[in-house]
Amino acid sequence: MIRFEEILASKREEVDQLKRTIPLSALEEQSKHSSPLRNFSAALRMEKISIIAEIKRSSPSQGTLTEDFDHRAIAREYEQGGAAALSVLTDRKFFQGDPSFIKEVREVSTLPVLRKDFILDEYQVFESRVILADAILLIARALNKTRLKNLYGLAQSLELAVLLEVHDERDLAIANEMEAEIIGINNRDFWDYSVSLEHSLKLREAVHAKAIVISESGIRTGSDVARLALAGFHGVLIGESLMRTGNKIEALKSLVKN
């Protein structure tokens, strides 16, 4: 089983290599000329619960999810099915993603796009702006408080929305202290990869009142979505169950209507 620390160590090495290829100063300059972004936050403030549909080929916990992978086609299907936003895995080593997927997905869909990756360095935040991600994921568990706040502030200055992911009460306390606009509660345990919807329901009550609250991982059915909506969640992020289904349009419609 691949450990979380192993993923983070690999990501740090990857970023160091990228810096030697394209310097940070070049990315900063490119970011000043990037196109306007789509409003990720607004897509999650709907009357009914919003679905962030995830595009990923594989994961460390589940392996390859589909052999027939076409991120552009999947993006079109998700939009037709009623998704409010897209989440795109850009990690190459562990999820078989690529940063280029962001722009390519935006070319075929009008939905705002979240860059799902392990963001550890300001370099990746500027890179996210350049590749036209509308939002980025920051994982509280992967960063110390100072680093988390600095990357969050940098993203805001670049007009990137941030989905701040928490896993326990300690993470949530930091997110609340920051008054994070979008807080995602991940139901997957990083250590053994077990998943429980009860985790979201337990932490939901402690989230600060102004936050957009998202439940992530292990959401498979319309009844799961309905239960989370009743508990006050604004949105859900669904990946594996959608990636495994043959008819993604109908699968999404069945989730959205509940």
User: In the Cβ-directed half-sphere of 52, how many Cα atoms lie within 13 Å?
Assistant: 33
> Rounded distance, CA 173 to CA 188, Å?
19
Which residues 6+ apart lie within 8 Å of 184 measured at CB?
A: 137, 163, 164, 165, 166, 213, 214, 215, 216, 237
pLDDT confidence band for 40 (50 / 70 / 90): very high
Between 64 and 5, whose confidence is greater?
5
> Rounded distance, CA 82 to CA 62, Å?
26
> Rounded distance, CA 32 to CA 15, Å?
21
Does this model's pTM top 0.85? My answer is yes
Average pLDDT over residues 129-150: 97
Q: Could you please report the per-residue DSSP string of 70-132? A: -HHHHHHHHHHHT-SEEEEE--STTT---THHHHHHHTT--S-EEEES---SHHHHHHHHHTT
Q: What is the pLDDT of residues 75-101, one digit of tens each?
A: 999 999 999 999 999 999 999 999 999
> Rounded distance, CA 51 to CA 215, Å?
10
Average pLDDT over residues 26-51: 94
Q: What is the pLDDT of residue 46?
A: 87
For residue 147, pLDDT over 80 is answered with yes
Which residue in this structure is represented by tokens 């568990």?
Answer: 141
Which residues 6+ apart lie within 8 Å of 205 measured at CB?
A: none
Query: Domains along the chain?
Result: 4-256 (3.20.20.70)
